Amino acid sequence: MNFQKTFSRLYFCAVDDKEPFMKYAGELYKTQQVQGLMQYEQHLQINRLQHITAVARVAVDICEKLGVEAGSAARGAVMHDLFYYDWRDGINGKWHCLHGYKHPRYSARNAKQLYEQITRKEEKIILRHMWPLTVMPPESVQGFAVSLADKYCATLELLYSKGIITAEENV
């Protein structure tokens, strides 16, 4: 499968309740707090909801291919960037250059407020998804899956925004 088709399926296919990540994190994904992420630009031409959707799709696919439990990866992926500000501006225009280091804590705090049943494993997935930028590596296969999916998706998003890859129609 080429990058165009992969990119298009990850970002521009409508989310279906039968998708693997939705069977694990569908209720979370459909909340107003998560759907509201659509208003925030993530990586240039991609909004944050598109980004977390793609990360969840990839992370669950990795876990299923490895034969490990995928639910915690799905939920961690859906909540890994659960912050409500434009990261280019920061909060009140302060510390945006430290966003990569700080937003996992904001996302984890927001995740706990949104999803009271969050497990310690899911919280760690959120807190450690920015590794290796942050020092603490993921502790689980699911955490590594989300961290790797996040980097892969961010790379695709930047390639798309620079016109290096394009989206296919009719995927």
Question: What is the DSSP secondary-structure string of 104-122?
Answer: HHHHHHHHHHH-TT--HHH
Find all residues with CB under 8 Å of 21, minimum gap 6, and list them.
29, 56, 57, 59, 60, 70, 74, 77, 78
As a dihedral over the C-alpha atoms of residue 150, residue 151, residue 152, residue 154, rounded to 10 degrees, the angle is 80
Query: Which structure tokens are listed for 84?
Result: 């409500």
pLDDT at position 72 is 98
pLDDT at position 97 is 62
pLDDT at position 39 is 92
Query: Which structure tokens are listed for 94?
Result: 């302060």
Domain definitions of the chain by residue range: 3-161
How many whole angstroms separate alpha carbon 14 and alpha carbon 7?
13
**Series of mean pLDDT values for 10-residue runs along the chain (171 residues):** 77 90 96 95 86 97 98 98 78 62 90 96 97 92 98 92 80 54
- Specify the CATH number of the domain 3-161: 1.10.3210
